[in-house]
Structure 1
């Protein structure tokens, strides 16, 4: 059975649509497995939602100001030409 390009793309689109329509339910541990250990110094074990939320270090906010006007670069005293190596 030969599959044409159009049918191949259609099958790929259907497969992608089916793969992306998963259920949205709260995370639960698999039966027979324990929850993660309580971290040292924590009062309680973190919930599934807390484990899935990235920390500030993992996802920092952008705090860089974008230039609105071009400016001349200041002189950099450390921008030195490379030394010549003897041949």
Structure 2
């Protein structure tokens, strides 16, 4: 799984950070210390960590991911990462 999206609300610079969905690499989610949750009203699960995005980005870089792009979507910041 070479691509990964992470996101955080723009007023949540200290966390939590969404790091994956129900199909994400389980070993990577464990490495990040992510917990799985279901948000009421959504028909899917997502993984999140209480770390700020900066910490998550640093951990992913240590695992060989690099930043492809970053954007704002409404009140959410989204980072697209890629691993060769």
TM-score range, shorter chain: under 0.3
What TM-score, normalized by structure 2, do the two folds share? 0.19
The structure with the largest alpha-carbon Rg is 1
Greater relative contact order, per chain length (Cα 8 Å cut-off, separation 6+): 2
